[in-house]
Amino acid sequence: MATKTVLALLMPLLLAAASATASAGWLTRLAGSAEHGAARAVRKGAALDHVAAHLKALPHRPDGIALAAQATQEGHWRFVNKAGETFTAGTPEELKRAAAVLLPEAKADAKLSLYVTQDTVFQNRSALKELPKGIELSVVIGDESYHILKHAEGASARLFAEVRPSLFLELAERARFDEALWQLARPLDRAKVRVLALEPGGPSTITSTPRIDVATSRAAVDIIDPASLPAALGSIRGQTVLLTGRVDGQLLYVKPSSGPEKSLLVRDLLQAAEDTDVNLVVLQSASTPRQPGGRNWFWQKVEVKGLDEALQRPRLADFLNALAGPGRRFAVTATPSGALRTSLEIRPAPDLPGGLSIKPMGDIFSDLVADVAGHVLTNTVQANVRNADRQRELDERLLPGIPADVQFAYFGLMLLSLMGLPVARAWWRRIWPPEQAAEYASRSGYWAARVVRGAVFLFIFLPLAALPAAPVHALSGLWHLMTTPLRLWRWLTRRHAPASAS
């Protein structure tokens, strides 16, 4: 009966606190959006200053000259040199004189490099056509600058940012570019990267931590039965899984050590990866999709070419760059895949300026050599990973398994509850009266009950009662302060009343 009474009294507070938690999460997101909006406004106003500071920090190039530049919405160009001197050009003639005005000591044949703002390439790209020919362009994003390559001319012209010598991001849609760049800059935690070999008849589960190969002191390849893979991902929640195969439509084909190729439904793998927060990376082979760790027809051990070296790199961009190998060029695109996931696709882009032109006969020869040597050549990489917002939310969590908004709201209510502690303690005594030692058969039972009551008060009731208790306590204190003169007057009148009567 007492338990029902306690629950009945607590239920309104539970509902109020749940509403407060939701409101707190909404307010947190609203404040975050306002903060990001203000930050964007500041960055926009100080964008050229930021690029100029980046330019000033660059090492001296004896074979070239450089300026910071910004194309404005009014159709003008603003230039800044390392000394901080500015020049605004509004006509083609003034554009040609910008370098001579800001860099009078430069040689006539020196190659000019322009470091431009993000808004120049995303919002005011048409102004790039006004620049003189032969200028080398780079865009400054954060603390990094990326060389820009142009593919084609005229209306079909496309711009690509060189993130790594073998990796390029198209400067097209701003949101997708930012997402792809964030993913590539993400640190690669080697302890959470699992290389799987899909072998029929293999184990149906995956250990939560990787096995260490005694010979190499590195994580060993995990063997898993293909049919068991979606269910097995639950044991490696939050980790990164590398698979080798060939995606054809809705099927992923793999070639086991023996027997014909096997296929898996891609949508089942993607759903399982999303349910378990697993980053799923498929290394597609241009040749037979053999599985790492097995043996080829010359009894050579099958390995993904460049994978061991790539796994030693600190970031995803470095990983993909090492996997691509020298001379090859890949274009990276990011596409939203639901509310919490991003689909990354890394495809060969040999038509970019400076790339290798690979002929079909060269492909056949490379595949044959790789097969004989026991290597799997990666031709395309497809990844389905947590998007930036989801990963940031996970990184903000102090306790795993509990959303960051809920944790922040809880700790905020705990801090707020300190302001209403006296009121909350008085309410708690009415809801759950203090224990009496005489009611318990032993001293240990009495203290155990006190500990339980104190824990429920501290960790459950106190944050739940924070919202009503804090203002009640504040109003009570304000009322006490306002009525202090009246109480003082009554005390003085009562003290002098006997003397006056006598």
**% of the chain with per-residue pLDDT over 70:** 81
Rounded to two decimals, the pTM is: 0.76
**pLDDT exceeds 50 at position 297:** no
pLDDT-derived band at 497 (thresholds 50, 70, 90) equals low
Lowest-pLDDT range, 90-99, 134-143, 147-156, 194-203? 147-156
Residues 253, 259, 260, 265, Cα dihedral to 10°:
-30
pLDDT in tens, 462-487: 999 988 988 888 888 888 788 888 88
3-state DSSP call for residue 227? helix
DSSP one-letter code for 105 = T
Q: Tell me which of 367 and 475 has the higher pLDDT.
A: 475
**pLDDT exceeds 90 at position 498:** no
Mean pLDDT score across all residues of the chain? 82
Where helices occur in 70-195 by DSSP H, the ranges are 92-102, 118-122, 174-185
- E strands present in 193-254: 193-198, 222-224, 240-248, 251-254
Strand partners, 375: 303
Residue 216: what pLDDT? 65
pLDDT in tens, 42-69: 344 479 999 999 999 998 877 678 999 9
Q: Tell me which of 338 and 223 has the higher pLDDT.
A: 223
Residue 155: what pLDDT? 61
Residue 338: what pLDDT? 85
pLDDT in tens, 130-164: 998 889 999 999 999 999 998 876 667 889 999 99
**% of the chain with per-residue pLDDT over 90:** 46
**pLDDT exceeds 90 at position 493:** no
**pLDDT exceeds 90 at position 318:** yes
Residue 35: what pLDDT? 41
DSSP one-letter code for 174 = H
Residue 440: what pLDDT? 87
Mean pLDDT of 26-51: 53
pLDDT-derived band at 215 (thresholds 50, 70, 90) equals low
The H or E element spanning position 52 is: helix 47-57
**pLDDT exceeds 80 at position 166:** yes
Strand partners, 330: 167, 348
**pLDDT exceeds 90 at position 230:** yes
The C-alpha atoms of residue 294 and residue 256 are separated, in whole angstroms, by 8
Lowest-pLDDT range, 42-46, 91-95, 376-380, 408-412? 42-46
Residues 6+ apart with CB under 8 A from 44: 119
Mean pLDDT of 373-382: 74
**pLDDT exceeds 50 at position 195:** yes
pLDDT-derived band at 451 (thresholds 50, 70, 90) equals very high
**pLDDT exceeds 70 at position 374:** no
The C-alpha atoms of residue 16 and residue 21 are separated, in whole angstroms, by 9
Helices 404-417 + 466-482 axis angle, to 10: 30
Say how many C-beta atoms besides its own lie within 10 A of residue 250's C-beta. 11
Of 373, 483, 416, 401, which Cα lies nearest the Cα of 24? 416
Q: Tell me which of 125 and 212 has the higher pLDDT.
A: 125
